[in-house]
């Protein structure tokens, strides 16, 4: 986990016009004042001088949007903590009685649904709500979707030819891949928890029994060389050839290849893949609620969504984002048919069973 804090750029506060033009903010909740000689008009509440963001999006995205938000909102200092999706949920749970975060930016919808059920989120309907289809937001607006994330098989293209790489999930269990797979530690990662849960769900949806899914994970564990404590460690080890396969989010694989020249390629599993809806939410009891709403709006404008698509390979959920990159428009995805409510109900138990009964004891979580 990395904590980032920079000094306040200036002591100036925002006028209503600057807030609306720079952030696309809503005027809901603002008050009106009247003094001698001043017209009785509605005035936007000033933003607080600080905002705290918890996110798994990584330092590249967080640093860029921190700088952009502070430039558009002089006097507001953005602080962010970069950690896994599950770690964000656990931290917000632990801080329920004394909230420290304002915005939770990035996690699978299942994590946000869990947080909603535990009373950890503050409903907020963004100004762009009509650009989100029904499946891309909570019915009560406790969270809304920001991007779609298909999960894929990732491989080192220097060590493995495309024709030799696994084409579907079950091919990862072939004994020839023993000690060639490196996986991000699932308990801290919303992405990995979703992939593992999807492998259990394939049979569970009909049988109601996770046994065959557990058997699948046992075979994968037998082929897994290491569980990495964070994504960067997993990326580096696969890039160096210490392992040549992993399972991960397609946008990250493309970004690492295009922006950082990692020798990565991906296979979209032939039988289908879970496609996550990544979201954003305001934390209940946020210390800086106005700044939270402004940041929420700012990172989800069409311009921001296009930037995230072009520079960080995120597939937007908004329907009004134009001229998306060719890799998005041309990539064919076969989504798995998943009941996400079942995931929400069962995944914690499934992951606990994996941790206590399947994960090989000799495979340390590499720090």
CB 200 within 8 A of CB 213: yes
**DSSP label of 56:** S
Q: Percent of the chain at pLDDT above 90?
A: 78
Supply the pLDDT for residue 44. Answer: 57
CB 40 within 8 A of CB 34: yes
Rounded CA separation 113/87 (Å): 15
Supply the pLDDT for residue 333. Answer: 86
Q: Which of 146, 103, 113, 44 is nearest to 289 (CA)?
A: 103
Q: What phi, psi does 236 have (nearest 5°)?
A: -65, -40
Rounded CA separation 90/215 (Å): 28
Question: How many residues appear in the chain?
Answer: 367
Q: Which of 129, 144, 83, 148 is nearest to 314 (CA)?
A: 148
Instruction: Name which residue leads in pLDDT, 324 or 7.
Output: 324
Give the domains, in start order, of the chain with CATH numbers. 2-148+277-330 (3.40.190.10), 149-275+333-366 (3.40.190.10)
Rounded CA separation 60/269 (Å): 28
- Model confidence at 21, pLDDT cuts 50, 70, 90, reads very low
- Model confidence at 212, pLDDT cuts 50, 70, 90, reads very high
Rounded CA separation 281/125 (Å): 10
Counting runs of H as helices and runs of E as strands, what totals does the chain give? 12, 15
Rounded CA separation 93/181 (Å): 33
CB 237 within 8 A of CB 228: yes
Rounded CA separation 46/30 (Å): 9
Query: Average of pLDDT values for 263-268?
Result: 96
Is pLDDT above 70 for 11?
no
Q: What is the mean pLDDT of the chain?
A: 88
Rounded CA separation 117/110 (Å): 11
Supply the pLDDT for residue 99. Answer: 98
pLDDT digits over 268-293, tens only? 999 999 999 999 999 999 999 999 99
- Model confidence at 46, pLDDT cuts 50, 70, 90, reads confident
**DSSP label of 288:** S
Is pLDDT above 70 for 16?
no
pTM of the model: 0.73
Is pLDDT above 90 for 194?
yes
Supply the pLDDT for residue 45. Answer: 67
Structure tokens at 261: 């020249």
Query: Average of pLDDT values for 127-140?
Result: 95
Query: Average of pLDDT values for 100-114?
Result: 95
Token look-up 């046994």 returns 211
Supply the pLDDT for residue 259. Answer: 86
Query: Average of pLDDT values for 87-95?
Result: 97
**DSSP label of 47:** P
Is pLDDT above 60 for 62?
yes
DSSP string of 208-244, one letter each residue: S--HHHHHHHHHHHHHEEEEESSHHHHHHHHHHTS--
Supply the pLDDT for residue 363. Answer: 64
Is pLDDT above 80 for 24?
no
Q: Which of 30-34, 38-42, 221-225, 335-339 has the highest mean pLDDT?
A: 221-225
Is pLDDT above 60 for 7?
no
Token look-up 């009509």 returns 130
CB 185 within 8 A of CB 79: no
């Amino acid at each position: 986990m990395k904590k980032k804090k920079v000094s306040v750029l200036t002591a100036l506060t925002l006028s209503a016009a600057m807030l609306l033009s720079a952030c696309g903010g809503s005027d809901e909740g603002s008050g009106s004042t009247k003094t001698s000689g001043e017209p009785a008009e509605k005035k936007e509440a000033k933003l607080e001088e600080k905002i705290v963001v918890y996110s798994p999006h990584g330092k590249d995205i967080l640093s860029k949007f921190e700088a952009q938000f502070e430039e558009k909102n002089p006097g507001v200092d953005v602080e962010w903590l970069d950690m896994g999706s599950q770690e964000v949920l656990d931290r917000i749970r632990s801080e329920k009685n004394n909230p420290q975060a304002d915005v939770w930016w990035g996690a699978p919808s299942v994590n946000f649904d869990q947080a909603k059920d535990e009373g950890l989120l503050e409903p907020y309907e963004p100004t762009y709500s009509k650009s989100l289809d029904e499946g891309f937001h909570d019915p009560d607006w406790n969270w809304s979707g920001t991007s779609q994330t298909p999960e894929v098989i990732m491989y080192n293209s220097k060590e493995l030819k495309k024709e030799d790489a696994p084409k579907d999930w079950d091919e990862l269990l072939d004994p020839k891949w023993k000690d060639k797979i490196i996986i991000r530690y699932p308990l801290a990662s919303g992405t990995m928890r979703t992939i593992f849960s999807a492998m259990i769900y394939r049979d569970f949806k009909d049988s109601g029994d996770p046994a065959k899914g557990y058997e699948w994970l046992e075979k994968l564990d037998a082929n897994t060389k290491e569980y990495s404590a964070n994504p960067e460690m997993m990326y580096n080890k696969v890039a160096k050839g210490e392992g040549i396969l992993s399972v991960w989010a397609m946008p990250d694989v493309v970004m690492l290849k295009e922006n950082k020249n990692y020798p990565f390629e991906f296979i979209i599993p032939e039988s289908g893949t879970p496609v996550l809806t990544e979201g954003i939410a305001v934390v209940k009891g946020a210390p800086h609620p106005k700044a939270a709403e402004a940041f929420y709006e700012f990172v989800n404008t069409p311009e921001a969504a296009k930037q995230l698509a072009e520079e960080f390979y995120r597939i937007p959920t908004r329907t009004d984002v134009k001229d998306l990159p060719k890799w998005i428009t041309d990539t064919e995805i076969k989504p798995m048919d998943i009941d996400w409510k079942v995931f929400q109900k069962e995944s914690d138990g499934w992951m606990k069973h994996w941790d206590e009964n399947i994960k090989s004891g000799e495979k340390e979580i590499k720090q």
